[in-house]
């Protein structure tokens, strides 16, 4: 009972590496973890973390530090932000003081949108994660990355990543090929039982996810890797069952739209009849039954229903004022709801539809391409060349709309020009998705008495 009382007074702690624009950091904080350290290399992303710290990270500012061996801050003091290369950090001063190490190592080596060099790419930061684990010995680790890790061409290397996380203290020599080191790890793992409780070992769960199934108004396929230190006695099987249980479904969304006065349309009573008819015409007659909640849609996000916390609806963007780059969010006190000219739709880049989850928000090597950040509007114009005689208008999504699709709070302030803010959002972890996993980690630790 004394330990439980202490836990109630002193929240669990976290360290965030590769923090980017702060999505996973916000998620971990909202799950009840106190940040001890943030690390991010990109200058603009660091500015975003500082600008958004009070409202989104729950800390009274961030203290930039050049100290490569940072000390954990006392309770109530700002967490330090190391704005440099994670490989320069010595995290040994945090050993035994960290409940969760969280981060999304740079995904370009494995992304379908990149050059896909995998382990040969110098941007592969998984080795830095394993180094951090050795130095801090956290109780748990949460990593998010692109679904490209599951491609057949990366299958063996991805298994190696998981093996290294299971045995992080079996350090690979610089002159050893990863294939040889993986063979060594595989031999060790083959001799371990399910009851292994070595404090140098971790038990790993890999979960392919579609963020829409967790309440994010976006189709976003990713991989989440979670590891628990083996000596803690965490029920890993129960944790895996919990996080793999889908909370939201497409079928539930379709059921809510099926009837003309269905719950979805009751929530959005101003949707024009021709839009409702278009959407309902595509709903199949047979829809499976489940106990899930409906997928959240782009319209939900814009109207303030993108999370369980209702937000004000974002004001309409005036298409006649796009060239002004006017911030239409002023009337509700939010920023970066700025119309942008030049939106195009072309082959291979179809737009977002309001009554579906948004397409994946992408960072893009050369910015966000074509229809990826464009959405169809409710307004339509006569078009003799169109099969039904009408064409729906379209425009770029604003940064604030995109942030809502990523389930970021409206207090999030992205640093830099529009393209840089969109890049930060595209690289981030949706807050709602991260929070689901962080809360599950907290519950699993609590169930094991930690």
Distant-in-sequence, close-in-space partners of 359: CB < 8 Å, separation ≥ 6: 218, 219, 352, 372
What gap in Å lies between CA 206 and CA 144, rounded to an integer?
Answer: 10
Which residue out of 107, 143, 292, 436 is catalytically annotated? 107
Find tokens 């975003």 and name the residue: 48
Measured CA distances, 5 to 96, 97, 180 (Å): 20, 18, 48
Taken in order 431, 92, 189, 231, is the CA torsion positive or negative?
Answer: negative
**In angstroms, rounded to a whole number, what is the distance separating the alpha carbons of residues 418 and 336?**
8
Q: Are 101 and 145 in contact (CB under 8 A)?
A: no
Q: Is 107 a catalytic residue?
A: yes
Helix (H, G, I), strand (E, B) or coil at 300: helix
Name 16's bridge partners: 38, 102
Residue 162's contacts (CB-CB under 8 Å, 6 or more residues apart) are 204, 206, 225
β partners of residue 34: 13
Decide: 425 and 48 in contact? Cβ < 8 Å: no
Catalytic residue positions, numbered: 107
């Amino acid at each position: 009972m004394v330990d439980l009382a202490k836990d109630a007074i002193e929240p669990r702690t976290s360290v965030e590496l590769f923090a980017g624009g702060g999505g996973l950091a916000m998620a971990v904080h909202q799950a009840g973890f106190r940040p001890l350290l943030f690390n991010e290399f990109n200058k603009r992303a660091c500015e975003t973390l500082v600008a958004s710290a009070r409202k989104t990270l729950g800390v009274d500012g961030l203290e930039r530090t050049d100290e490569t061996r940072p000390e954990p801050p006392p309770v109530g003091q700002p967490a330090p932000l190391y704005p440099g290369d994670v490989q320069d950090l010595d995290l040994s001063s945090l050993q035994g003081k960290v409940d969760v190490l969280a981060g999304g190592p740079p995904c370009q080596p494995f992304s379908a949108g990149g050059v896909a060099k995998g382990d040969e790419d110098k941007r592969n930061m998984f080795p830095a994660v394993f180094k951090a684990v050795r130095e801090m010995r956290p109780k748990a680790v949460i990593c998010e990355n692109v679904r490209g890790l599951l491609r057949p061409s990366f299958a063996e290397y991805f298994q190696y990543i998981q093996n290294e996380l299971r045995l992080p203290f079996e350090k690979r020599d610089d002159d050893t090929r990863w294939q040889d080191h993986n063979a060594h790890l595989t031999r060790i793992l083959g001799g371990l039982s399910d009851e292994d409780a070595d404090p140098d070992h971790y038990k790993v769960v890999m979960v392919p996810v579609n963020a829409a199934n967790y309440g994010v108004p976006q189709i976003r396929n990713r991989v989440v890797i979670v590891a628990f230190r083996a000596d803690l006695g965490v029920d890993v099987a129960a944790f895996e069952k919990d996080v793999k249980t889908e909370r939201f479904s497409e079928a539930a969304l379709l059921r809510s739209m099926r009837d003309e006065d269905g719950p979805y349309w009751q929530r959005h009573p101003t949707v024009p009849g021709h839009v409702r008819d278009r959407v309902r015409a595509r709903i199949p007659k047979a829809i499976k039954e489940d106990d899930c909640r409906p997928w959240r849609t782009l319209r939900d996000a814009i109207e303030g229903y993108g999370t369980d916390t209702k937000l004000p609806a974002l004001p309409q963007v005036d298409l006649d004022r796009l060239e002004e780059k006017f911030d239409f969010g002023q009337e509700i006190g939010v920023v970066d709801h700025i119309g942008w000219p030049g939106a195009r739709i072309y082959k291979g880049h179809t737009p977002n539809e309001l009554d579906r989850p948004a397409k994946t928000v992408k960072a893009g090597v050369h910015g966000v391409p074509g229809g990826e950040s464009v959405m169809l509007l409710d307004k339509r114009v006569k078009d003799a060349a169109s099969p039904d005689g009408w064409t729906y208008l379209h425009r770029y999504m604003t940064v604030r709309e995109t942030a809502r699709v990523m389930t970021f709070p409206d207090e999030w302030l992205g640093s830099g020009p529009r393209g840089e803010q969109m890049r930060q959002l595209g690289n981030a972890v949706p807050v709602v998705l991260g929070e689901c996993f962080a809360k599950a980690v907290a519950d699993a630790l609590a169930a094991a008495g930690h």
